[in-house]
Structures are given as structure tokens and as C-alpha cells.
């Protein structure tokens, strides 16, 4: 398992730069072995993009790694320490049921974390068992791959194994381990942890590492420009990526469900798919998470929560921004004040694209807001409304037939007629901006029930296949675009921890 020839065969090429940080940021330990691991999901296309041997990894040696029963050569397993505001309350956290095996370096020189989720207890488990249930791990696999298909920055899922053991949440369920691939697992909460329990030099080491790993252009620029505040530039660079990310969430109706500061990655990837879901009927107040009783993380609140989380990052960085606290606070506040503007620039650009509009006019904002207002008023399906407009079938929307929509439609057609691009160009822009389908909640539940209750993974595999190219607008996708039947019982998602 650990010979050089074996490593070359499977393709693993581990490095462990994170372990070079001060020791307070992690604890080294191995996964807890499991009884009888079985590979049930494997992402062959992702494996190929990472330069891994898919066939070898699906064999006994590969499964042993995915289960945590074997440590591949070059890996240095560790649990990361971090803190976070959970629903507004600050806590000491850390990887309570996950271990970072190390950083795989692909043949294209891409560095990615390889993490096992559900691999056993760690020093940060508190009262948890360190394990994960099959349903939540399959949910993460489905949604993260759907997000990748939608073109949204995300962690990805390489494999899911069952452990042959049970875990107990509300009910007994099969245990599972997910192998997650991420640009890194550095979070806003990692910086909060350093600011609270580390020294200024610990905080600086983390900031320098993050700059070099995710924003090397900022790190290089600051070396040649003594006037540049590298840590202020780090904050601004993180803000820019988050503005782009959250705008993309909103544009497809994605609701993260638990936007705690420990679930905001500085890389700009979507991370931690717990009680996440996609919105059917358009309503900014939509909440699916069973633990979000007050709607803190509702769909319409996500941009505001992102700004709040970034303010917590800015607070953690204060000692690095300026020697004088008052000046540091001013620099941080000035930077954070631009987030809303950055977000809306991205969101409005995305909404114009969803309506086939290439340029910008002052009336665009009201055109967009009026459409959303009508959608909310009549309970229109968010994805299918834009899908119907894309294929020029307005009669398929819940808005059709109202005088308000007739007037709006005329204004929209006139707006598109004022741009240089042709109607065909506009439709192509809409096709590439409006997915024909999303991972509908009832379809996800259908796949999870078949897999967990019946051991039938074919439903999930078919769903993953259609979600891999959501902008195809093919007849085969039509059945998966159907909204759920109306129900008096609201759809609820659960964290799975």
C-alpha cells in the first residue's frame, strides 16, 4: 500500500504545507478504522482531472484510503482547529468528524485538500461521535456536483464509502465517509480562532499562508510595492470572491442553510453542505433548515449574512491592518462598506444575463425588481419562470395572462430591442445563464430514499447525470424540471450532525 510504485499507480501526490503553520492550528492524528468499508459512489471525472487512477482507486487499496483504514504515502492526517459564529454566537469549534489527509498536487500543479468527512473522533469532537450518516454524505455528493455543473465555485466529492457500522441521530442509519476535495479548508472561523487564542505572529503566519495559497498575485505585488497593505489587500480579495459567489447562489436560488462564519471559505468556494436546498417558489423569506427557526439564513438574507461574516474576518485581521487600533478599524470599515456594492454589481450583471441583456441601462433595476415582485405575488417557480422566458414560451409561466405581466413583457422586449446584439444572441445568453433544471428537493429526497432505504443507487446516478449539464435544455431534462406537487407540509432539511 505504501510503496512508491503503489503511489504512482494510484496517482496520489501528497504535500502537507498546512502542517507548516504553528501547531495551535491543528492536531495530528489518524482516522479511526472502520469494520467493513464498501465503495458506493466514485467520481471518475473528478479523479481524472486530478491525475488519479480511477481504476486503482476503486480497488481494495483505494477503498481502504477512502475509509481511513490506510494512510497513503506522503499524507499527514490532521484535524484543523477553528472557531466560528454559529447563528450569531461565538464558539470554539474545529474538525469534529473530519481529517485532512493532506494536499494532493495534480499533474497540472493544482493543489487541493483531500479530506475525509466522518472519519472518527478528534480533539474537537466535543460530545460528538465523529461519524457521519449515509444520507447527509450522499446529499453533499449530489449538491456539490450540481453546483459544479452550474458553474459555481464549490468543494467537490470524490467518493463515498459505507463503513459497515451504524450511526445514531434521530434514528439509526448506515455510517458513511465522504472524501471531499477543496481548494482549502481555511475559513473565516480559522482567522477568528487565531485572533482569539493565538498570538499576532500566529495570525500573521495564517494570513501569509492564505495569501500565498489563494491570492499569490497579491502576495507578489506586495513584495514589490512597499506601500501596499498586504493584509488589507487580502481582506479585499476575499470580499471580491465572496461577492461573486453569493451572487451566483442567489441567481440560481440556492440556499446554504447554515452560513456560520466557520462555513465561509476564504478560497471563495461553497463549503459544508448541511441543510442546503434549492428554492422552488420564489420568495426571499424561504428557509428549509430545521434549525433556522428565526430565518437568519433565509434566501433573501444571504448577501447580508455574507457581509456580516466578512466583518468578523475584518475584526480578526485588525492587528495586522495597522499598529494603531483606531486606524485599523477605519481601514476595515472602509473596506467592508464596499461589499454590498460589489455584490449588487455581480447580481445585477447576472440578472441582466438571465434576461438576455448585454449592456446596462438605468431602468434595468426596476425591470428586474418588477419581475421578481410579480413572481412572489403569484407564487411563480423561480427556475421555471426564467426557463420559460429563455425558450420564448411565456405562456408556461404562472405570470401569463395578467395585465401586469403583459406590460412587463412589452417593456422587456423593447429593452432587448435597444441593444446591438440580435435576438438569437440574447437567447443564447439566456440559455447559458438560466439552468433548465436544478437539484429539485423532491428529486434529491427520492434519490436519497432509494439509496439509503433500498440500496438502489441508480436513481441518484440518473439524477447526477442530468445535473452534470444543467444548461443543456434537452428533452431528457424536462421531467427533472417539474416542481413538486403542492403540500401543506413545508419541506425541511436537517444538518446531519
Give the torsion through C-alpha atoms of 386, 392, 393, 398, to 10 deg: 30
CA distance 391 to 389: 6
Check residue 342 and report its DSSP letter: H
C-beta of residue 430 within 8 angstroms of C-beta of residue 356: yes
Angle at 253 between CA 484 and CA 351, to 5 degrees: 130
- 113 SS3 class: strand
Q: Is 88 left (phi over 0), alpha (psi -120 to 50) or beta?
A: left
Query: Beta partners for 84?
Result: 91
Residues 6+ apart with CB under 8 A from 347: 247, 250, 251, 303
C-beta of residue 243 within 8 angstroms of C-beta of residue 339: yes
Phi, psi of 473 (to 5 degrees): 55, 50
CA distance 208 to 204: 6
- 432 SS3 class: helix
**Marked catalytic residue, from 262, 272, 280, 381:** 262
CA distance 190 to 210: 11
CA distance 35 to 39: 13
CA distance 40 to 135: 12
Phi, psi of 467 (to 5 degrees): -80, -15
Checking DSSP bridges between strand 132-133 and strand 172-182, what pairing results, if any? antiparallel
* Active site annotation includes 283: no
C-alpha cell at 419: 441593444
Q: Is 145 left (phi over 0), alpha (psi -120 to 50) or beta?
A: alpha
DSSP conformation letters of 369-393? HHHHHHHHHHT-BHHHHHHHHHTT-
Check residue 457 and report its DSSP letter: -
Just list the catalytic residues: 262
Amino acid at each position: 500500500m505504501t510503496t512508491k510504485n503503489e503511489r504512482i499507480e494510484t496517482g496520489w501526490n501528497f504535500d502537507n504545507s498546512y502542517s507548516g503553520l504553528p501547531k495551535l492550528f491543528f492536531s495530528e492524528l489518524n482516522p479511526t478504522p472502520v469494520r467493513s468499508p464498501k465503495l458506493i459512489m466514485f467520481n471518475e471525472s473528478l479523479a481524472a482531472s486530478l491525475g488519479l487512477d480511477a481504476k486503482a482507486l476503486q480497488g481494495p487499496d483505494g477503498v481502504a484510503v477512502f475509509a481511513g483504514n490506510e494512510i497513503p504515502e506522503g499524507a499527514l492526517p490532521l484535524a484543523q482547529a477553528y472557531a466560528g459564529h454559529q447563528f450569531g454566537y461565538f464558539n470554539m469549534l474545529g474538525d469534529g468528524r473530519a481529517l485532512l489527509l493532506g494536499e494532493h498536487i495534480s499533474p497540472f500543479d493544482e493543489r487541493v485538500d483531500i479530506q475525509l468527512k466522518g472519519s472518527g473522533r478528534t480533539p474537537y469532537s466535543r460530545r460528538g461521535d465523529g461519524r457521519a450518516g449515509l444520507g447527509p454524505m450522499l446529499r453533499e455528493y449530489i449538491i456539490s456536483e450540481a453546483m459544479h455543473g452550474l458553474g459555481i465555485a464549490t468543494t467537490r466529492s470524490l467518493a463515498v464509502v459505507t463503513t459497515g457500522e451504524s450511526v445514531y441521530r434521530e434514528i439509526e442509519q448506515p455510517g458513511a465517509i465522504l472524501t471531499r476535495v477543496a481548494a482549502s479548508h481555511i475559513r473565516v472561523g480559522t482567522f477568528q480562532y487565531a485572533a482569539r487564542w493565538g498570538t499576532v505572529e500566529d495570525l500573521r503566519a495564517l494570513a501569509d499562508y492564505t495569501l500565498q495559497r489563494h491570492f499569490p498575485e497579491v502576495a507578489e505585488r506586495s513584495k514589490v510595492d512597499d506601500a501596499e497593505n498586504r493584509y488589507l489587500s487580502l481582506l479585499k480579495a476575499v470580499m471580491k470572491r465572496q461577492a461573486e459567489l453569493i451572487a451566483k447562489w442567489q441567481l440560481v436560488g440556492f440556499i446554504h442553510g447554515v452560513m456560520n462564519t466557520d462555513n465561509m471559505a476564504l478560497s471563495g468556494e461553497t463549503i459544508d453542505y448541511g441543510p442546503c436546498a434549492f428554492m422552488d417558489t420564489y420568495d426571499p423569506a424561504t428557509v428549509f433548515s430545521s434549525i433556522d427557526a428565526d430565518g437568519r439564513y433565509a434566501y433573501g438574507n444571504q448577501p447580508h449574512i455574507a457581509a456580516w461574516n466578512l466583518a468578523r474576518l475584518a475584526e480578526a485581521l485588525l492587528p495586522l491592518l495597522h499598529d494603531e487600533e483606531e486606524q485599523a478599524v477605519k481601514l476595515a470599515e472602509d473596506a467592508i462598506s464596499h461589499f454590498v456594492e460589489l455584490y449588487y454589481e455581480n447580481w445585477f450583471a447576472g440578472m441582466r444575463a438571465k434576461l438576455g441583456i448585454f449592456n446596462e441601462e438605468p431602468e434595468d433595476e426596476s425591470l428586474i425588481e418588477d419581475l421578481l415582485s410579480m413572481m412572489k405575488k403569484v407564487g411563480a417557480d423561480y427556475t421555471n419562470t426564467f426557463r420559460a422566458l429563455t425558450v420564448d414560451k411565456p405562456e408556461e409561466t404562472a405570470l401569463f395572462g395578467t395585465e401586469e405581466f403583459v406590460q412587463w413583457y412589452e417593456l422587456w422586449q423593447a429593452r432587448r430591442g435597444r441593444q446591438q446584439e440580435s435576438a438569437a444572441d440574447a437567447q443564447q445568453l439566456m440559455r447559458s445563464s438560466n439552468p433548465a433544471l436544478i437539484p429539485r428537493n423532491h428529486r434529491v429526497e427520492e434519490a436519497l430514499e432509494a439509496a439509503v432505504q433500498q440500496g438502489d443507487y441508480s436513481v441518484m446516478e440518473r439524477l447526477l447525470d442530468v445535473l452534470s449539464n444543467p444548461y443543456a435544455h434537452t428533452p431528457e431534462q424536462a421531467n427533472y424540471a417539474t416542481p413538486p406537487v403542492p403540500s401543506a407540509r413545508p419541506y425541511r432539511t436537517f444538518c446531519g450532525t
